[in-house]
Amino acid sequence: MKQLIRRLSRVADSSSQYRLLRHVPVYVGEEMERFVVNAELLNHPVFVGLLNKSAQEYGYEQKGVLRIPCHVLVFERVMEALRLGVESRDLQDLLRSFSDDCCFLDF
């Protein structure tokens, strides 16, 4: 996990746009929809769970931007909840409500 976060930091630092804004590009779901995520969220327990899911699905050595194996709608809801400051327990409940989703995580 630390290796993945270090790699993401290098990706963010390599682009002046993202370096200034402290954001990281990610692609979500089979649709590969592009999102730009605040780098501070990478340490949030729910996002760490998503990163672990990504590592399980795609490995630590994936090239290019980070891919998150999660339905876009679920990811959008999680990101909105993170922006609003929803507590981790409530976010976990949100993810569990999508138990048939590829984004379901055990915490």
The pLDDT mean for the chain works out to 77
Whether residue 103 lies inside any domain: the answer is no
Q: Going along 14-107, which residue ranges are E strands?
A: 23-28, 33-38, 66-68
Over the stretch 29-70, which tens digit does the pLDDT of each residue have? 999 999 999 888 888 888 888 888 888 888 887 777 789 988
Whether residue 105 lies inside any domain: the answer is no
Say whether pLDDT at 104 is over 50. Answer: no
**Domain of residue 7, residue span:** 2-96
Whether residue 39 lies inside any domain: the answer is yes
Q: Which of 15-19, 26-30, 41-45, 97-101 is least confident?
A: 15-19
- 3-state SS class at 102: coil
Which region holds residue 10: left if phi is over 0, alpha if psi is between -120 and 50, else beta? alpha
- 3-state SS class at 79: helix
At 2, the pLDDT band (50, 70, 90 cuts) reads low
Domain count, the chain: 1
Task: Please state whether the predicted TM-score (pTM) of the whole model is above 0.95.
Answer: no
Whether residue 107 lies inside any domain: the answer is no
Say whether pLDDT at 10 is over 80. Answer: no
At 28, the pLDDT band (50, 70, 90 cuts) reads very high
- Whether residue 46 contacts residue 91, with contact meaning beta carbons closer than 8 Å, is answered with yes
Q: Rounded to an integer, what is the distance from CA 22 to the centroid of its chain?
A: 15
